[in-house]
Amino acid sequence: MMGSQQGMMYNGWRDDQGTYGMAFRNNFDRVGAYVSYPMGQFVPSAGYQYRKDDSPDGTTFNSNGAFVEGTYLISKYATVGARYDWFRPITSVESRQWAFTPYINIPFQNGLQLIAEYTHRDFQIAPAGTVHRSNDSFQLWMIFIQ
């Protein structure tokens, strides 16, 4: 099996709605890198993205984030994995978010799959990252791919 490396760069704009309904043009840039490398039944992967956006007041702000993930094929009927995400929505202030998500995917080999995941998220928000908020969620999906 071969590993995978991808890079992306995007420059664009869109009309956004700011605070109090003030419309503005958001010019934005995105740069990212992603890697994965299968090692037998285990596939580790990681990625990073940097973003720059315009604000309604004409200034710009930056954000960045990363993830690491490991997936393990137990059999053709079950795959388990876990993912850790980290994100800074605005790098100029002390704000961070992270999440940990273990999951299982059970394909029935006829197009039907059950996917279950639990996610714990933590938000560190201003002022100075002193306020913490967290939430937990459990999701169960039944999907059919033909």
Q: Give all domains of the chain, ordered by start, each with its CATH number.
A: 4-144 (2.40.160.10)
Confidence of residue 22 (pLDDT cuts 50, 70, 90): low
* Mean pLDDT, residues 99-124: 95
Query: What pTM was estimated for this model as a whole?
Result: 0.78
129's tokens: 């990252």
* Main-chain dihedrals φ then ψ at residue 61, nearest 5 degrees: -135, 155
* Mean pLDDT, residues 26-43: 91
58-100 pLDDT, tens digit per residue, is 788 889 999 999 999 999 999 999 999 999 887 777 778 999 9
